[in-house]
Amino acid sequence: MSDAWWTVVLVGSATIAIKGAGPLLMGGKPLPPRIGRVIGLLAPALLAALVAISTFGGERALVLDERALGVAGAAVAIALKAPPLVVVVVAAMVTALARAL
Amino acid sequence: MDEPGSLSFAHGARKVAPFSIAVLGFGMSFGVLARPTMGPIAPIVMSATTFAGSAQFAAASILGAGGTLAAAVVAAVLLNARYAPIGLSVAPSLSGPWWSRFLRAQLVVDETWALSADGRGGHDPKIIVGAGVVLYAAWVAGTALGVLFGDLIGDPARLGLDAAFPALFLALLMPNLVRSRSRVAAILGAAIALALTPIAPAGVPIVAAGLACLIGWRRR
């Protein structure tokens, strides 16, 4: 089995278990405040890391290329409250245009 | 059958309509971007089983960058770790047999979780199902269209679709930056990731960046 299929199986079963655990066990009790605070910060930390890496990441190197322009365009679209689809189109169009020039 | 004060499934479906159009496009870009690395079938199966956009993008981008299987899986699972407390927060609103609670929990994603909130700490289960089914269909159909469409448009980089990854992550990040501590975690996570990118294998910097959330351990 390829890495891609292992990823599908492992991520899929882990996600199904994670999503289902709370409602299945029906504990109904809130998390201890300290754990809740830690988990609540996971999304901003990881998503910011993904923005940084997918904008500036290369093969074991940081690179500045047309992607940065596309992401800057996306940031403007987000600031203007554009829907996600428009944000993606802006990012792709700006990047493609910069590459073509 | 109707729970008191509960809105209808159709209401949930209508509420999620603007999101589902975006999610269709999001799914298409996942299909386009995942196909060169994962082949034609695996991305569709992943969308049908995992149903969590950012984690799927993370796993596909790590594999695409030559990262290890472990790094891809750990990063995706860390990204989905938020669904543990989200699941707990929805649990009191989901009644019925265990399999029904478990299945409906799979339809909880950021958008359906936010849309189903009743403002009093509870969640309308019919909104979760109505909105969730529409969003799920859009996500899987979008992925399938992206996989098929990918053949026609060729190299995603030529069309600037590689910039779609950071753009979508940015769009997903913004609603998470309301609190000042979240902004600190985001800056710290990005800094850790960038610092480790030149010296660590692909995927590891993302996993290490997750440790930034430990700043939440301190009281305030």
Determine which of A39, A50, A65, A78 to mutate to test the interface with B (most B C-beta atoms within 10 Å). A50
Return the higher-pLDDT residue of A29 and B183. Answer: B183
Confidence of residue B59 (pLDDT cuts 50, 70, 90): very high
Confidence of residue A93 (pLDDT cuts 50, 70, 90): very high
Give the separation between CA B88 and CA B49, rounded to whole angstroms: 20
Query: In this complex, is the C-beta atom of B216 within 8 Å of any C-beta atom belonging to chain A?
Result: yes
Facing residue for B77 by CB, picked from A11, A31, A55: A11
Chain B partners within 8 Å of A99 (Cβ): 157-158, 160
Partners of B123 in the β-ladder: B117
> If you average pLDDT over every residue of chain A, what do you get?
87
The predicted structure's pLDDT at residue B216: 86
CB-based contact A62:B198 (threshold 8 Å): yes
Check if the interface score ipTM surpasses 0.85. no
Determine which of B176, B179, B181, B219 to mutate to test the interface with A (most A C-beta atoms within 10 Å). B176
The predicted structure's pLDDT at residue B7: 67
**pLDDT tens digits along A40-80:** 687 788 889 989 988 998 867 999 999 999 999 999 999 99
Q: Is the pLDDT of residue B208 over 80?
A: yes
Average pLDDT, stretch A79-84?
88
Among B127, B105, B116, smallest CA distance to A19 is for: B105
The predicted structure's pLDDT at residue B8: 85
Residue in the block written with tokens 């047309």:
A66
Among B57, B65, B37, smallest CA distance to B200 is for: B65
- Give the whole-number percent of chain B exceeding pLDDT 70: 90
> How many residues in chain A?
101
Return the higher-pLDDT residue of B19 and B179. Answer: B179
Q: Which residues, 6 or more positions from B103, have their beta carbon under 8 angstroms from its beta carbon?
A: none
Q: Which residues of B144-166 are buried (b: 16+ CB within 10 A; e: fewer)?
A: bbbbeebeeeeebeebbbbbbbb
Check CB contact under 8 Å for B182 and A40: yes
> If you average pLDDT over every residue of chain B, what do you get?
84
**pLDDT tens digits along B100-139:** 999 999 999 977 887 787 766 578 899 999 999 999 999 9
The predicted structure's pLDDT at residue B57: 87
Return the higher-pLDDT residue of A29 and B168. Answer: B168
Q: Is the pLDDT of residue B1 over 60?
A: no
**pLDDT tens digits along B71-92:** 999 989 887 887 887 787 788 8
The predicted structure's pLDDT at residue B200: 84
The predicted structure's pLDDT at residue B173: 83
CB-based contact A7:B56 (threshold 8 Å): no
Give the separation between CA B218 and CA A34, rounded to whole angstroms: 8
Average pLDDT, stretch A27-31?
54
Query: In this complex, is the C-beta atom of B26 within 8 Å of any C-beta atom belonging to chain A?
Result: yes
For B158, half-sphere exposure in the C-beta direction (CA atoms, 13 angstrom radius) is 5
Calculate how close chain A gets to B119, using CA atoms only, in Å.
17
Q: Is the pLDDT of residue B172 over 50?
A: yes
Confidence of residue B4 (pLDDT cuts 50, 70, 90): very low
Give the separation between CA B96 and CA B161, rounded to whole angstroms: 43
Give the separation between CA B23 and CA A55, rounded to whole angstroms: 22
Q: Is the pLDDT of residue B199 over 90?
A: yes
The predicted structure's pLDDT at residue B204: 76
Q: Is the pLDDT of residue A26 over 70?
A: no
DSSP code, position A62: B
CA distances from residue B45 to A12, A23, A36, A57, B9 in whole angstroms, order as listed: 9, 24, 31, 28, 26
**pLDDT tens digits along B133-148:** 999 999 999 999 999 9
Among B38, B71, B57, B76, smallest CA distance to B196 is for: B71
Return the higher-pLDDT residue of A100 and B82. Answer: A100
